[in-house]
Amino acid sequence: MSTDPIVNISTLNKWYGDFHVLRDINLEVGRGERIVICGPSGSGKSTLIRCINALEEFQEGEIVVDGIELGPNLRRVDEVRREVGMVFQSFNLFPHLTVLDNCTLAPIWVRNIPKKDAEATAMKFLERVKIPHQANKFPGQMSGGQQQRVAIARALTMNPKVMLFDEPTSALDPEMVKEVLDTMVDLAREGMTMLVVTHEMGFAREVANRVVFMDAGQIIESNTPQEFFANPQHARTKLFLSQILR
Amino acid sequence: MTDVTASSFVRQDLVPERPAPVKTTGFIGFVRTRLLNSPTNILLTIVALLLLWYTIIPALKFLLVDAVWSGKDRNACLAENTGHQVGACWPYIQAKLTQLIYGFYPEAERWRVNLTFILAVVLLAPLLIPRLPAKGLNASLFFFAFPVVAFFLLRGGGLTGFGVSWVASLSQLFGDSIVNAGQVLVNLSQNSAIGPVLWGIGKLIVLIGSAVGWLIFPLTWLRDQLQMSGQPLWYDFLLTAVIVSLILFFLGGGMRTGQRALLASLVTFAGIAVVIKLMGLDRGGLAVVDTRLWGGLLVTLVVSVTGIVTSMPIGIALALGRRSTIPLIRVFSIAFIEFWRGVPLITVLFFATYMLPLFLPGNFNVDGLVRALIGIALFAGAYQAEVVRGGLAAIPRGQGEAASALGLSWWKTTSLIVMPQALRHVIPGLVNSFIALFKDTSLVSIVALFDLLGSLHATFSDPTWSTPTTAFTGFAFAGMIYFVFCFGMSRYSLFVENRLNAHRRN
Amino acid sequence: MTTEPRKPPPQFIFRLKRALGGKSGWTGLAVQIVFAAVLAWVAYEIVANARANLETQRIASGFGFLKNTAGFDVSLNLVPYSGSDTYTRVFLVGLLNTLLVAVIGIIFATIIGFIIALCRLSPNWLLARIGEIYVELVRNLPLLFQLLFWYLAVLAALPGPRQSISLFNTAFLSNRGLVIPRPIGEAGLDPFLIAIAIGIVGALALRSYARRALFQRGQAIRIWPTVLGLLFGLPLATMLIFGLPLTFEMPQLKGFNFAGGARVIPELVALLVALSTYTAAFIAEIVRAGILSVHKGQMEAGSSLGLSRGATLRLIVVPQAMRVIVPPLTNQYLNLTKNSSLAVAIGYPDLVSVFAGTTLSQTGQAIEIIAITMGVYLLISLVTSAVMSVYGWRINRSLGAGA
């Protein structure tokens, strides 16, 4: 882990109307670090990672992604988004495009990469998520787990420096969770910087450098997975863990 | 009472299948269950049969049995001459067929209309068959190249200039108009309380207008040079081709990725050159046929196809405008849509015929057909906008978010992700409004354009063919044409919808 | 350790940016300024050109012409009108004729539409097919085509008044139009109308009383005999006391035409037939879709609760279907009203025909007249859609509790 953080969030505050969703969030993510963010629903964890990608506006504070500063006016949105890949809970594949077109769209139209090169890159990533033979299918013809793996490949084709995962396995049938998690574990082994919102505590134990627990819009506890699970400090963390690990 | 819990049972032999006591399948079963299964239903069946007896039989009798099939004038279709009750008078249709299809389009030039029809079919048919490839090329040929070719084919006439001249003339007009507007404000400022402000704004506008004039000076100079040369069209064309291709090349990414754009542009211009050469547009083109001579099915198809092609972009732009967060754009779109949807098409056509010429500069003579087309395009555009908006609303927010997260700009997100899905969603609605538009074209006959219905109406006044059944025959014939087009469109939309749904299912 | 929630910062500049330029911020503002400039330029061009054109054509703009004498006759006027009246009066006559045709057309279209919808939903295969053919045939032919068909072909083919088609010897249909008995008010009319009004009010009051009794005390009151008595018995009673409310003047064939009775001009007949049969096809589809939209499970759920078939229909199916039906139905009513402007094609004196047609060609005041005409239709549409959005809002609110 290098010393300079790739994502640096300082005193981030966000309101929906008068509702204070994110309160004084400070978080540094080092290069190659893998952070799992967990917490009860409505705790603001999804909102937090959506802020990093500028899908949500925030009112106070600052986010710096790889030296690109993202203040409340979100002026450098496009630059940040090119460095950050995102995987959604509901996959959000483009249903009118084939899997391959889903993966080449952004490289062609955003990075102006010639179509042939973009397709070669896309195939490489589809192989990595183990669905190269389905490249010409439409998303609607695939299972949820396959769709989510395509979504990961699609995000990777932009060569992001950071990957954000917003509950990537929550919308999946139980038997498909593993294939997606395996893909994510592989990705982690290769040294990708990852911020993952998930309830999959097994994943957290296996790959995370750090587990961040959020509640009521704030970071309650942040620790290594071993410490976090073995020795939770805060009362709310204990309550949460007792509810989730039965 | 038997003791249920104590009894155990093992089946020794399987019960064989046997037919239902009352037959419910096959023709007999069908009649029994769907027509005669209760006293009320029997009564309804009798009523329905009577209804058919009194409508279908007379109609068939009129169209076929009692019909007169040949003759030279009305005498052939009079009961006292035929000796039996007279149905449809088909020789009348035969005599008027050319008028119903071409109107008064000169006989020697009708091959141009036929050629246009053939071109349309050749381009449209492969577009409608989903299995065939190259939809993009096909669509751009049909929606962009075909209308231009059809215009020069049907109306005739040639070109004296191309892109450079057009841009120069238009911007000159624009600049002059702005200077005039500024001057008006300056003049107003003399007797007004906020005089100095008006004066300032006026002067500023005059300045902008003059700046436009200066900026385009190279263009106007170039235009004048071109017009003085021996081949104004070809030189202008070459110059436009070079300029546009270069611009596209650099917009497309220059040396790295611009080659495709450059190639596409050059191919397009080569195509345009072929068309210009083939149709002799540089030598005055085909003889001009005034649109007042157009009529019949030709006008119906021209109006509806133009209406469909022009209303789509208007509708898409308005739908996006209505969803925009920019206040003025949104308010304008809403007002525009609600206005056109709130008034009947006839008043729109009256507006286009009587009011529009007053709004244009006096020396600007707009053809009657074009005026009606403008009215119809605006009217249909407003309806399309609401259909498209429905499709946009059906796209989940995640789609736009996913595209943004990949770094796509608003324009690219809209044109690559959101709009294609939205349009697919609303194909039935779009086709429905196409059908409505096709039917509505009949209204142009009220503002003195002779479409199919107008031409039909005009034939009724011909004394050579005035018989008691002439009107019925005419309506039967025109009705079949309208029905075939509208019914065909609606069936096609069902086919496409089913195909898309089938795709979604597996 | 926990951070307490606090109020968001005021962010004046941000809010200003939002208000001025939407989500696009300052870019949005710039776009708006350019857009406003373009609009202003277009408006300037329109005004300047219109002024210059009117000057060369020597037309004085303004609404002064409305006070001038019209000098032409109108074949149907619901308010007294003669050629010496002003154009304002012409406008009023035309507007009333439009409304007349719209109201009667809506009533007929609704009746026919519901009948066709029931045919299409009928378990009888033959009847369902007939309904389908009707809908397909009528929807796929232009309305103007149908209007001209009825007017130029069917009505023109009818016999002259002497050979009129008689409907039960009270109404006579000929190529001169429809002659129907003319109602004449008698002494008993006022009490009769009052009795009907009392009957309706009383029946409604009784219904809400019975509802309250059922909901609050669990007491089911049988009200229909009383309601029948109120609605029919009371008017009958007044008829017995005060005499007949109406007598009808029967049309009689005298010479070549009818004397007495009320004559409905053929244009109105053709327009009504065309508008109501055309709109009925669309209404039938709407009603059918509305009824089919109620899930079959709703009917099953109703019967499983022990409600009778009638009660299930009345309390469960119809209210849900109405939610789906009413908005597009209103839209069809609006369409019918707007389509009534096709009257100009056959010379029925509606607003467009007498005002935007005859008056426009006599005075040449195109801008004013077309603006007024469009304004009238626009007003009708906007008022209707305002009412509908209130209705939609109420429906959404009542459904929103679950969603």
**Rounded mean pLDDT, A93-101:** 89
Contacts of C246 (CB under 8 A, 6+ apart): C183, C184, C185, C186, C189
Same domain, B349 and B299: yes
Nearest CA in chain A to C7: A18
Contacts of B181 (CB under 8 A, 6+ apart): B205, B209, C41, C44, C45, C48
Q: Which residue has the tokens 């007939």?
A: C130
DSSP E strands in B251-367: the ranges are none
Q: Do C144 and B453 touch (CB under 8 A)?
A: yes
Exposure pattern of A116-134 as b/e (b: 16+ CB <10 Å)? eebbebbbebbebbebbeb
Nearest CA in chain A to C4: A23
| Chain C CB contacts of A13 below 8 Å | 8
| Chain A CB contacts of C9 below 8 Å | 59-60
Query: Which residues 336-355 on chain C approach chain B with CB closer than 8 angstroms?
Result: 338-339, 341-342, 344-345, 352
d(CA B258, CA B248): 8
Report the CATH number at residue B418. Answer: 1.10.3720.10
Please determine, for residue C368, whether its predicted confidence score (pLDDT) is greater than 60: yes
Tokens of C7: 């109020």
Q: Do C14 and A73 touch (CB under 8 A)?
A: yes
CB B341 within 8 A of CB C381: yes
Please determine, for residue B479, whether its predicted confidence score (pLDDT) is greater than 90: yes
Q: Which residue has the tokens 């060609």?
A: C361
* CA torsion, ordered B455, B460, B464, B467, to nearest 10 deg: 140
CB B102 within 8 A of CB B295: yes
Strand pairing of C252-254 and C257-259? antiparallel
Contacts of C35 (CB under 8 A, 6+ apart): B328, B329, B332
Contacts of B387 (CB under 8 A, 6+ apart): B315, B426, B429, B430, B432, B433
Question: Which pLDDT band, with edges at 50, 70 and 90, does B349 fall under?
Answer: very high
d(CA C36, CA C200): 55
- Neighbouring chains of C at 3+ CB pairs under 8 Å are A, B
- C280 or C88: which leads in pLDDT: C280
Please determine, for residue A175, whether its predicted confidence score (pLDDT) is greater than 60: yes
For all residues of chain B together, what is the average pLDDT? 84
| Chain A CB contacts of B407 below 8 Å | 78, 81-82, 106, 110, 158
Q: Which residue has the tokens 């299972």?
A: A143
Percent of chain B whose predicted confidence (pLDDT) is above 70: 95
What pLDDT is attached to residue C333?
Answer: 93
Domain ranges for chain A, please list them.
7-245
C8 at interface of A, judged by CB pairs closer than 8 A? yes
Q: What are phi and psi of C117, to 5 degrees?
A: -60, -40
Contacts of A188 (CB under 8 A, 6+ apart): A34, A194, A207
Q: What stretch of H or E contains B55? A: helix B39-60
d(CA A207, CA A73): 35
**Rounded mean pLDDT, A106-112:** 85
Residue A194 pairs in a beta bridge with: A34, A163
Contacts of A48 (CB under 8 A, 6+ apart): A9, A12, A22, A25, A27, A37, A214
d(CA A226, CA A217): 24
Question: Which pLDDT band, with edges at 50, 70 and 90, does B379 fall under?
Answer: very high
Does any domain span residue B41?
no
> In this predicted model, what pLDDT tens digit does every residue of A123-142 receive, in sequence order?
999 998 888 888 888 888 88
Nearest CA in chain C to A13: C8
| C8 CB burial (10 A radius; 0-12, 13-18, 19+) | middle
What spatial distance separates the first Cα and last Cα of chain B, rounded to whole Å? 54
Does any domain span residue B234?
yes
A181-185, A195-199, C1-5: least confident range: C1-5
B332 at interface of C, judged by CB pairs closer than 8 A? yes
Nearest CA in chain C to A58: C8
Q: Which of A148-157, C15-24, C219-228 has the highest mean pLDDT?
A: A148-157
d(CA C26, CA B222): 38
Strand pairing of A210-215 and A34-38? parallel
Tokens of A42: 């409505």
**Rounded mean pLDDT, C6-16:** 75
d(CA B244, CA A37): 52
**Rounded mean pLDDT, A82-108:** 89
Q: Do A55 and B408 touch (CB under 8 A)?
A: no
| Chain A CB contacts of B405 below 8 Å | 53, 55, 81, 84-86, 88, 155
What pLDDT is attached to residue C96?
Answer: 92
Question: Which pLDDT band, with edges at 50, 70 and 90, does C378 fall under?
Answer: very high
List the domain range (segments joined by +) for residue B192.
163-283
Q: What stretch of H or E contains A207? A: helix A201-207
> In this predicted model, what pLDDT tens digit does every residue of B281-332 receive, in sequence order?
777 777 888 888 888 899 999 999 999 989 999 999 999 999 888 888 999 9
Residue C264 pairs in a beta bridge with: C178
| Chain B CB contacts of C44 below 8 Å | 177, 181, 184
**Rounded mean pLDDT, C263-275:** 90
> In this predicted model, what pLDDT tens digit does every residue of C334-356 receive, in sequence order?
999 999 999 999 989 989 988 88
Question: Which pLDDT band, with edges at 50, 70 and 90, does B502 fall under?
Answer: low
Please determine, for residue B247, whether its predicted confidence score (pLDDT) is greater than 80: yes
Q: Which amino acid is at C251?
A: P
Q: Do C2 and A24 touch (CB under 8 A)?
A: no
- Beta-carbon count within 10 A of B232 CB: 20
CA-based nearest residue to C370, from B354, B46, B291: B354
Contacts of B144 (CB under 8 A, 6+ apart): none
Q: Do B407 and A82 touch (CB under 8 A)?
A: yes
Please determine, for residue B462, whether its predicted confidence score (pLDDT) is greater than 80: yes
Residue C262 pairs in a beta bridge with: C180
Same domain, B217 and B324: no
B368-to-A12, A123, B444, C145 alpha-carbon distances in Å: 63, 57, 10, 22
CA-based nearest residue to B425, from B400, B389, B399, B401: B389
Residue of B249, B262, B406, B418 to mutate, interface with A, max A Cβ within 10 Å = B406
Question: Which pLDDT band, with edges at 50, 70 and 90, does B437 fall under?
Answer: very high
What pLDDT is attached to residue B333?
Answer: 94
Split into its structural domains, chain B has a count of 3
Which of A19, A73, A218 is closest, CB to CB, to C2? Answer: A218
Which of A23, A60, A234 is closest, CB to CB, to C5? Answer: A23
| Chain A CB contacts of C11 below 8 Å | 59, 72
Domain boundary among B251, B283, B315: B283
Domain boundary among B253, B283, B313: B283
Which of B253, B399, B406 is closest, CB to CB, to A106? Answer: B406
Nearest CA in chain B to C355: B347
Please determine, for residue B503, whether its predicted confidence score (pLDDT) is greater than 60: no
What pLDDT is attached to residue C395?
Answer: 75
Tell me how close the Cα of C15 comes to any Cα of chain A, in angstroms.
11
Does any domain span residue B97?
yes
Q: Which amino acid is at A118?
A: A
Q: Do B440 and C378 touch (CB under 8 A)?
A: no
Same domain, B279 and B335: no
d(CA C117, CA C112): 9
Q: Do B478 and C44 touch (CB under 8 A)?
A: no
Contacts of B434 (CB under 8 A, 6+ apart): B304, B308, B489
Contacts of B388 (CB under 8 A, 6+ apart): B315, B316, B319, B422, B423, B426, B430
**Rounded mean pLDDT, A175-193:** 89
- 3-state DSSP call for residue C361? helix
Show the 3-state SS of A210-238.
EEEEEECCEEEEEECHHHHHHCCCCHHHH
Sheet holding A60-65, edge to edge: A19-30, A5-16, A60-65, A68-70
Same domain, B367 and B338: yes
| Chain C CB contacts of B472 below 8 Å | 153, 157
Residue C107 region by backbone torsions, left for phi larger than 0, else alpha for psi between -120 and 50, else beta: alpha
Same domain, B333 and B272: no
Same domain, B356 and B427: yes
Tokens of B369: 């057909």
Query: Which residues 56-85 on chain A approach chain C with CB closer than 8 angstroms?
Result: 59-60, 72-73
Does any domain span residue B10?
no
Please determine, for residue C403, whether its predicted confidence score (pLDDT) is greater than 70: no
**Rounded mean pLDDT, B42-62:** 88
**Rounded mean pLDDT, A208-236:** 89
What is C87-179+266-402's CATH topology?
Answer: MetI-like fold (1.10.3720)
d(CA B57, CA B63): 10
- Neighbouring chains of B at 3+ CB pairs under 8 Å are A, C
Nearest CA in chain A to B259: A114
| Chain B CB contacts of A151 below 8 Å | 402
| B402 CB burial (10 A radius; 0-12, 13-18, 19+) | buried
Exposure pattern of C179-209 as b/e (b: 16+ CB <10 Å)? bbbeeeeeebbebbeebbeebeebbeebeee
Nearest CA in chain B to A156: B406
What pLDDT is attached to residue C401?
Answer: 42
Which of A96, A112, A138 is closest, CB to CB, to B424? Answer: A96
B128-to-B134, B273, B458, B495, C396 alpha-carbon distances in Å: 12, 28, 35, 11, 40
> In this predicted model, what pLDDT tens digit does every residue of C28-76 receive, in sequence order?
888 888 889 889 888 888 888 888 888 888 777 777 788 888 778 887 7
| Chain B CB contacts of A86 below 8 Å | 402, 405
The number of residues in chain A equals: 246
C199-to-B32, C152, C187, C210, C213 alpha-carbon distances in Å: 47, 45, 20, 16, 21
What pLDDT is attached to residue B343?
Answer: 93
Q: Which residue has the tokens 């802020």?
A: A51
Provide the whole-model pTM.
Answer: 0.85
Does any domain span residue B58?
no
**CATH architecture of the domain covering A7-245:** 3-Layer(aba) Sandwich (3.40)
CA-based nearest residue to B164, from B124, B216, B128, B211: B216
Q: Do C149 and B475 touch (CB under 8 A)?
A: yes
Tokens of C369: 């007249």
CA-based nearest residue to B206, from B241, B177, B173, B235: B177
- Beta-carbon count within 10 A of B285 CB: 17
Tell me how close the Cα of C148 comes to any Cα of chain B, in angstroms.
8
> In this predicted model, what pLDDT tens digit does every residue of B54-83 receive, in sequence order?
888 888 888 888 888 888 888 888 877 777
| A21 CB burial (10 A radius; 0-12, 13-18, 19+) | buried
CB C235 within 8 A of CB C244: no
CB C251 within 8 A of CB C261: yes
Question: Which pLDDT band, with edges at 50, 70 and 90, does A1 fall under?
Answer: very low
